[in-house]
């Protein structure tokens, strides 16, 4: 009987375009650390979570390649094939937006071209730019018609995301085109790392928060999602086959700038935190 490798949590980062495991502030290039058995391409590394788990279990025997503090991290999932966004998925946010609660998930596309890293600048190019901190789930094993009960088995990990939105652009057509309004270049920072879901005591209850220039704007917990992560995976996979690396931005809680007409300005610094994942810091440019 084959020996079983105990499942271990892992933390995956993108260092100069290469997949790296992170432990205690140090990073380990996965291709080097695995002697070439795991690809350095973050999109390919995501396909072998069991190998990442096994490698993670051996990290204490290996020499780190460097300190995370000394590198600029890229998006942990740099080239998702599809990137889904969910609108109005917290009651509090639907209320502040004067919108009815959706009967089915309100789904839009964040074009993969808008995905950037956890410290990337946001090029606003508008006076109606807005922030939305969100839990982003990353598909591991893809599939079609995934039952709700199996959904978490298809998620390789979670990360933090900002669903930056240009409200004027979002509502400049009737019906509104959420996809364009949320897909300007640089409007999709994710990171700082991808954390495997087994690192959470309960991945359905994760705190998330956001500050702008140090001022608290958003704070909630994913237990308050209207459509749960499992429901979203089941729903989306009933329509479109999900693939490794696909992203789901699961929705934002109340406190967005549009509600208070407090839009983002050049020089603003957005700090977004997802419990157990870490913090992204993004500065706005004009």
Site for Zn ion in 15-54 (CB under 5 A): none
Distance, CA of 41 to CA of 30 (rounded, Å) = 9
The smaller minimum CB distance to Zn ion, of residues 54 and 77, is found at: 77
Q: Which is nearer to Zn ion, 132 or 220 (CB)?
A: 132
Q: Rounded CA gap, 16 and 240, in Å?
A: 31
Stretch that binds Zn ion, among 62-70, 114-122, 130-138, 273-281 (CB under 5 A): 130-138
Task: Provide, rounded to whole angstroms, the least separation between the CB of residue 65 and Zn ion.
Answer: 35
Nearer to Zn ion, 199 or 228 (CB): 228
Beta carbon nearer to Zn ion, 141 or 221: 221
- State the nearest-atom distance from the C-beta of 92 to Zn ion, in Å: 13
Number of Cβ within 10 Å of residue 226's Cβ equals: 17
Is residue 166 part of the contact set for Zn ion (CB under 5 A)?
A: no
- Region from 4-12, 128-136, 239-247, 276-284 binding Zn ion, contact rule CB under 5 A: 128-136
How far is residue 123's CA from residue 10's CA, in Å, rounded to a whole number? 32
Residue nearer to Zn ion on the CB measure, 47 or 217: 217
| String of contacts with Zn ion for each residue 234-273, x by CB under 5 A | ------------------x---------------------
| Smallest distance, Zn ion to C-beta of residue 108, A | 8
Report, in Å, the least distance between residue 33 CB and Zn ion: 35
Q: How many residues bind Zn ion (CB under 5 A)?
A: 3
Block residue for tokens 């913090």: 279
The structure tokens 């502040």 sit at 96
Nearest CB to Zn ion, comparing residues 132 and 254: 132
From 51-59, 139-147, 160-168, 208-216, give the range in contact with Zn ion by CB under 5 A: 160-168
- Is 163 near Zn ion (CB under 5 A)? yes
Task: Provide, rounded to whole angstroms, the least separation between the CB of residue 84 and Zn ion.
Answer: 11
- Nearer to Zn ion among residue 118 and residue 253 (C-beta): 253
- Which is nearer to Zn ion, 29 or 268 (by Cβ)? 268
* Three-state SS sequence of 170-230: HCCCCCCCHHHHCCCCCCEEEEEEEEEHHHCCCCCCCEEEEEECCEEEEEEEHHHECCCHH
DSSP labels, 62-126: S--SEEGGGS-EE-SS-S-S-EEEEES-BHHHHHHTT-PPPSS-EEEE--GGGEE-TTPPEE--S
DSSP letter for 274, please.
Answer: E
Residue 148 has phi, psi (to 5 degrees) of -50, -40
- Contact between 73 and 44 under an 8 Å Cβ cutoff? The reply is no
* Span near Zn ion by CB under 5 A; candidates 3-11, 14-22, 129-137, 152-160: 129-137
Listed in sequence order, the residues at least 6 apart from 190 whose beta carbon sits closer than 8 Å to its beta carbon are 75, 76, 77, 115, 116, 117, 118, 136, 159, 160, 161, 162, 247, 280
132 binds Zn ion, rule: CB under 5 A: yes
Would you tell me which residues interact with Zn ion (CB under 5 A)?
132, 163, 252
């Amino acid at each position: 009987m084959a020996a079983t490798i105990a499942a271990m949590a892992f933390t995956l980062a993108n260092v100069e375009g290469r997949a790296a495991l992170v432990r205690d502030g140090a990073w380990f290039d996965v291709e080097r650390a695995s002697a070439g058995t795991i690809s350095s391409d973050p999109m390919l590394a995501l396909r072998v979570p069991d190998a990442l788990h096994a490698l993670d279990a051996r990290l204490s025997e290996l020499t780190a390649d460097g300190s995370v503090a000394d590198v600029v991290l890229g998006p942990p999932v740099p080239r998702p094939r599809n990137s889904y966004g969910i609108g109005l998925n917290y009651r509090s946010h639907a209320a502040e937006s004067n919108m009815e609660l959706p009967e089915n998930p309100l789904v839009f596309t964040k074009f993969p071209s808008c995905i950037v890293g956890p410290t990337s600048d946001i090029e606003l190019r508008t006076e109606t730019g807005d922030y939305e901190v969100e839990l982003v789930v990353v598909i591991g094993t893809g599939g079609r018609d995934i039952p709700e009960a199996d959904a978490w088995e298809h998620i390789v990990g979670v990360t933090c995301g900002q669903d930056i939105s240009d409200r004027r652009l979002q509502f400049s057509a009737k019906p509104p085109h959420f996809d364009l309004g949320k897909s300007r270049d640089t409007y999709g920072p994710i990171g700082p790392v991808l954390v495997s879901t087994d690192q959470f005591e309960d991945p359905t209850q994760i705190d998330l928060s956001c500050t702008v220039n140090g001022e608290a704007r958003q704070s909630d917990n994913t237990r308050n999602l209207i459509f749960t992560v499992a429901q979203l995976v089941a729903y989306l996979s009933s329509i479109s086959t999900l693939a490794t690396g696909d992203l789901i931005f699961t929705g934002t809680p109340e406190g967005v700038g549009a509600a208070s007409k407090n839009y983002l300005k050049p020089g603003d610094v957005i700090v977004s935190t997802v419990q157990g994942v870490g913090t992204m810091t993004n500065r706005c440019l004009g």
